[in-house]
Structure 1
Amino acid sequence: MYATKRKLVTATSYLCIIMSGTNDAANVGSYTPTPLGTIGDENQNTYLGAYSLLLDNLLAQNPKIRIILMTPLQVFCNDGAGDIRTNAMIEPYRQGTRDIASYYGLPCIDLARVMGWNAVTNPALSGDGLHPNEAASRVMARIIDRFIRQNF
């Protein structure tokens, strides 16, 4: 997560969808997981602090904007070269996303629970166990479309 004070949306922007957390949980090479932090801690070096700063910035720029948060996807990654991301490592960031959505009164699509991505479906949805392929992107698009139509 990266917090910025730059202009991210316009006054006429209607909708912003944010999915983050997978890279924050990464333990790859010299990267170590981003500390989780706490909601509203305003520490851009923690996941929840940076998320809070980002949301505060978006809402300050356009208080009417609708924001949807999405949890990180399931992962099945072990590339043999040190890129090991497990669902246990990512779960605190998923829960943090659910918690920050609740704190800000924002809707949250829990992709890890509704995507249907699991050890059996992984080969059909990803080439590397981490990044969604075209089929997974279509599934995500249908989930997002249905959510928007039902809630906005």
Structure 2
Amino acid sequence: MILSTFSLSACASADKDKIENVVIVQVTNGGTLQNRGGYTIENGTLAIFKEIQLSKNINQDPSSLTTSDSEKEEIEKLLANDFTEEDQHPEQTGLFQTYDRKIKKAYAQIDKENKKTYLYGEHYKKEFTWVNDQGTRLMDSNKVEYSFSQK
């Protein structure tokens, strides 16, 4: 009887750690081609947005843009954890390439002890490392930094 009560209370406390409304917005690009990015969880749905800037000069003619092999590799690395392979290759020829994805059954969890924030969803997990002690500034595996807030 005591064991079943403990199990139920442990499950209940784990649910309290789930954060269901968050906004994570890119603040620096970490020296990458990622120009803008963000993660929003609202009502159990995670919306991911990333924008890649292919040109260093926004006045450049988009038809003259070429992407080097190293830039292609970097773009794939920037998108790998957040987008399916099918989502990673849109037919885009502009100065900016945008990528969007929605994931259901999403929530965030904060691990204060290890100074990490996680996003979870259906077949999805993303880890951010804290840049500051409050967990309001995060960094992903590509060294791109984001601000974090709860709604």
Interval of TM-score (by shorter of Structure 1 and Structure 2): under 0.3
User: TM-score when scaled to structure 2?
Assistant: 0.26
User: TM-score when scaled to structure 1?
Assistant: 0.26
Decide which structure has the larger Cα Rg and report it.
2
Higher helix proportion (structure 1 or 2): 1
